[in-house]
Amino acid sequence: MPRKRTSSTRAPQSASTAAPRTIAKPESTGHEHFTQFARSMPFIVWTANPQGVVDYFNQGFVDYTRREPSALIGDGWASVLHPDDVPGVMARWEHSVSTGEVYEAEFRILRSDGEYRWHKVQAKTELDDDGTIIRWWGTALDIHETRMLKERAATLAEEREAILESLADSVLTLDREFRFTYLNSHAEALVQMTREEALGRALWEALPELAQKDEYKTALTSVLESGQPVHMQEYSDSNDRYFDVTISPLIDGLTVYARDITQVKSLSDQLAIAHRLEAIGQLTGGIAHDFNNLLTVVMGAVESLSLEEDLSPAGQEMLELVSQATTRGAELTHRLLAFARQQPLAPQAINVSQHVTSLIPLLQRTLGDEIEVASSLARGLPPALVDPGQFESAILNLGINARDAMPEGGLLELETGITELDEEYAATHSDIQPGRYIIVSVGDTGTGIPPEHLERLFDPFFTTKPVGQGSGLGLAMVWGFVKQSGGHVSVYSEPHRGTTIRLYLPIASESFVKDNEPSEATPPAHGTGRILLVEDDRLVRHFATEQLSAHGYKVTATGSGPEALKALESIQNLDLLFTDVILPGGLTGRQLAQRIVALRPGTPVLYASGYTESVLMHDGRLDPDVSLLTKPYTGRQLVERVNEMVSIPGSEAGET
């Protein structure tokens, strides 16, 4: 029945304006029954008149507060409320009294032990047959523990939210129908929806590519049924990202934890390639060392036989074939050592734009008329710190590779410039440090490189060319040269649209440029003196001894470091130590030289090797105090270099 308001109903009064109130006294048997009933209740019971003046509390409230009953009626009950709650409680009560709406509030009441405890307080009206308010009936239930649990739960929820948002990984929860029930901000980015958009929607709707893969539905269902977590490796979504995914059970669904491992996978793949190339490099370097020794002897023999006057035309022709074969063999070992990053480099501060410019005519002749060579070469670049001969060889190799990729002609573009590789780029490329680099780009409009071949592009002997049209060492040599120089190589290729290979080369420091300005030197036509020759290969030792002796030098030849130190005891004046780098007997050529220079200060040292490892090099470059004759060498090259070294009186070349 609709409630009617009468003239007897008035607005609530404050404690200061209300008439004196007393606890209602029993007037009838019904009232006695109510009082007894209310006294037995384990919670607070109270009543108020139609104007909202409280006129009764049961004994439970008196016992709870340990206050006199007369002190609680009227507005006295407000004295046991928490001071912070009083304004809100009174305003809400006055609103209910004026409107007749159900009163409901939570506030703190002072218990007799001095603790304020939360209570849920409710009050409803009693109406007569005409809908007039007769009385308010109210209760107050102690909900302190429940309230504390809720507050703690809210705090934990806030803490959980803060923790989940602080994670760099995606976290989401699903119900048993695989609908989203929670997403952190990274999960929002993953599904490309806001939390509000995603909640209640199915996982398959947000990530439709998953619906095509049975293994993910199977995994989610398995976790629901078994209650056991499932770990999945390297899930790639449509954006070519890789994730490490863990699916765990919840009481009413699932938690999905996805860590983006794209960068980690990229670095892992690069590391695996680097390890493979390093292993191949060690193998090729060892082979090249022994092969260089053989080539040195063959080249020396060819050189000696070519001086024979009575050699027949057929013999001359055969000798020429052998000479060409040894030259090709020397080029092969040179490329192997370049790939293995064990070739001796002589870095200089060079202007890459000038060097590329000087190569363009040669490239144009080599590539043919069907290929156009275009260039965009920056001016004013700082000098790059590289071996100029190896740099030019690398550019020629890239040009020849580009020509083979354009059998019907095309465009070869050469560009130079300077770039800054930041820490983000270096983080995804384990072989490079952030900083400024000179960049040399060689691009073509050819057939491009299939994606499956990119990983093996720099492997020695790997080639996609037909049999007989490529050794597979050109790009390997380029890669090894740039790495040994402290640089970086990147490849971008699209099938049928072409390939661009960029070389990132280190910039020469100002001090290096100043200390390495070219100077003129005129070696003598010949020289004399005592040479201590140390070479473990018998054939090479014999060849070098014969060549030097024939040109006037006195040679003491030994096969190891200990033998050389023993022979030194009988040498009064030593003009040069000529030693191989890799020696048996426990001493390297460098260690032997240090021992001999300590005993005979000022002795010049000339090293010979085609496989130096780190004995003479640091950071892939020859130490500045090293003089090196690279194997294989001819007799003329040997004598000319020895003449240079012996002609330096009191020189400490090769050692400090």
CATH code at 224? 3.30.450.20
Task: Please indicate, yes or no, whether residues 404 and 491 belong to a single structural domain of this protein.
Answer: yes
User: Does the residue 637 lie in any domain?
Assistant: yes
Q: Do 260 and 267 contact (CB within 8 A), yes or no?
A: no
**Residues 458 and 537 occupy one common structural domain:** no
Q: Measuring CA to CA, which residue among 333, 451, 452, 476 is closest to residue 401?
A: 476
**Peptide bond preceding 383 in cis form (omega within 30 of 0):** no
Q: Are 70 and 22 in contact (CB under 8 A)?
A: yes
What tokens were used for 293? Answer: 């020794």
CA–CA distance from 318 to each of 27, 168, 292, 306, 553 (Å)? 142, 71, 21, 11, 32
Residue 404's alpha-carbon distances to 331, 391, 495, 496, 501, in angstroms, are: 20, 20, 14, 13, 15
User: How many whole angstroms separate alpha carbon 249 and alpha carbon 230?
Assistant: 9
Q: How many CA within 13 A on the CB side of residue 68?
A: 3
In a domain, 655, yes or no: no
In a domain, 11, yes or no: no
Same domain for 394 and 537, yes or no, is: no
Does residue 23 lie within any of the structural domains? no
Tokens linked to 166: 């602080």
Q: Tokens representing 584? A: 């048996």
Considering the domain architecture, whether residues 293 and 235 belong to the same structural domain is answered as: no
Helix (H, G, I), strand (E, B) or coil at 358: helix
Same domain? For 251 and 296 the reply is no
Where a domain ends, among 260, 290, 310? 260
**Quick check: helix, strand or coil at residue 366?**
helix
* All residues at 6 or more sequence positions from 111 whose CB lies less than 8 Å from its CB, including other chains: 64, 65, 117
Predicted pLDDT at 650: 40
Q: How far apart are CA 563 and CA 606, in angstroms?
A: 18
Structural domain for 52, as ranges: 29-148
CA 234 to chain CA centroid, Å, is 16
Determine, yes or no, domain membership for 244: yes
What CA–CA distance (Å, rounded) separates 445 from 324? 34
Angle in degrees, CA 593, 599, 602, rounded to 5? 70
Residue 159 lies in a domain: no
248 and 121, same structural domain? no
Whether 6 maps to a domain, the answer reads no
Q: Report the CATH number at residue 626.
A: 3.40.50.2300
pLDDT of residue 20: 39
pLDDT averaged per 10 residues, the chain (length 656): 36 38 44 61 85 87 86 87 93 91 93 92 90 90 88 76 72 86 81 82 77 75 84 62 80 82 67 58 58 69 71 74 68 53 64 87 83 89 84 82 87 91 74 85 87 68 51 66 82 86 87 51 58 87 84 90 92 91 86 92 86 50 70 78 71 37
471 and 461 Cβ atoms separated by less than 8 Å? yes
**pLDDT for the residue numbered 524:** 37
β-bridge partners, 414: 375, 442
Query: What distance in Å separates the CA atoms of residue 19 and residue 53, rounded to the nearest whole number?
Result: 9
Q: Is 463 exposed, middle or buried (0-12, 13-18, 19+ CB in 10 A)?
A: buried
Q: Which of 212, 232, 260 is the last residue of a domain?
A: 260
CATH number of 429's domain:
3.30.565.10
Tally the domains of the chain.
5
Residues 343 and 484 sit within 8 Å (Cβ to Cβ)? yes
CB proximity list for 338: less than 8 A, separation 6 or greater: 390, 476, 477, 480, 481, 484
625 and 556: one domain?
Answer: yes
Same domain, yes or no, for 426 and 464? yes
Place of tokens 């939360």: 118
In a domain, 522, yes or no: no
Please check whether residues 86 and 66 belong to one and the same domain. Answer: yes
Alpha helices in 405-537 (DSSP H): 423-427, 474-484, 510-515
- Picking from 515, 545, 570, the residue at the C-terminal end of a domain is 515
Query: Domain check: are 637 and 559 in the same one?
Result: yes
Q: Assess whether 600 and 634 both reside in one domain.
A: yes
Could you tell me if 244 and 198 lie in one domain? Answer: yes
Q: Global pTM?
A: 0.39
Report pLDDT for 336.
54
